[in-house]
Amino acid sequence: MPIAMIVHGGAWAIPDDQVDLHQAGCRAALAVGWEILNAGGSALEACESAVLLMEDDPIFDAGTGAVLTSEGTVELDAALMDGRSLRYGAVAGLRRIRNPITLARRILEGPATLLVGDGAERYAEQVGITLCANEELIVERERKLWEDWRAGRTTPAPFDASETPSTPSAGHDTVGAIALDREGNLVAANSTGGTPFKLPGRVGDTPLIGCGLYADAQIAAAVCTGWGESIARVALARRVIELIERGFAPQSAAEAAIRTLVRQVPGGSGGCILLTHDGRVGMAWNTRRMAYAYRIEGGEVAVGV
């Protein structure tokens, strides 16, 4: 079975001066995952490792460097789905976990599917994951943006599912990865700090199976990014898979799904990446940019925004 992998670094108006860093981060994440796949490792391991690297890269809104809530704290969500077993692990509202994707992996292998907040952090301690202080996840860039927002120097405010976000100075930088290993398994993974200045406790599409991600090793896997409230309302990830089931080519399926998002949710915005069971790639977005990198065995690395 040929191996393949695709990662993304978020769909939003990535500023010109951050483009190179976003592309470099995606390239590095792909390289980490590809090394695992090429050595015969599992798609599960490749996706976890790629996302973990992006969580540790402060350019992305995931893990260290995530955007701040309206209270000036970091709250993190993540998920990982195994396309062969359809098992998944998801976490939300984490404040003291440096790498949520690792906890999601442990939950996938454990007795639950979705854990949130304090309960998720207690479980992390039980399985040997070290907690950190919330302040350790905050970078100066995001602290400054939050201070500007609090002082009224920027316009965005916390929004609910009935509102359209308008955040010119900060992004919705969910990161994600999909891998196809030599055993033919497909795995999807994602991680995020959510939307800038969100209400504490807000959870978007990222940890919701069928919304932020979905994987079926017999068909395809998809990972979404963007305005989570709009993505969840159309169950975008599962919608992409259904289009593949109906016979759409991967690129056509990705583009059709984004058209549906725009048509059914006023102001809906985002993007998606897609990898089929036979190693074909698709991706689409309606934001200014979406950072991505992918490789199919026998081909070269592709990187872009």
Give tens-digit pLDDT for 1-41.
799 999 999 999 999 999 999 999 999 999 999 999 999 99
Interval 164-217: pLDDT, tens = 444 434 455 699 999 999 999 999 999 999 999 999 999 999 999 999 999 999
Residue 104, in any domain of the structure: yes
Mean pLDDT of 101-109: 97
Residue 102, in any domain of the structure: yes
pLDDT at 270 over 70: yes
The predicted pLDDT at position 111 comes to 86
Tell me the C-alpha distance between 276 and 236, whole Å.
Answer: 16
Active site residues: 174
The predicted pLDDT at position 187 comes to 98
The predicted pLDDT at position 269 comes to 94
pTM as predicted: 0.95
Domain count, the chain: 1
The predicted pLDDT at position 163 comes to 42
From the list 8, 79, 2, 1, the residue with the least C-alpha distance to 294 is: 8
From the list 201, 203, 199, 179, the residue with the least C-alpha distance to 189 is: 179
Q: What percent of the chain has pLDDT over 90?
A: 91
Interval 52-92: pLDDT, tens = 999 999 999 999 999 999 999 999 999 999 999 999 999 99
Residue 164, in any domain of the structure: no
Q: What is the mean pLDDT of the chain?
A: 94
What's 185's domain CATH number? 3.60.20.30
In sequence order, which residues have a C-beta less than 8 Å from that of residue 138 and are 6 or more positions away? 68, 74
The predicted pLDDT at position 153 comes to 83
pLDDT at 156 over 60: no
- What angle separates helix 43-56 from helix 100-108, to the nearest 10 degrees? 160
Residue 193, in any domain of the structure: yes
Residue 163, in any domain of the structure: no
The predicted pLDDT at position 1 comes to 79
For residue 279, give its domain range.
4-158+169-304
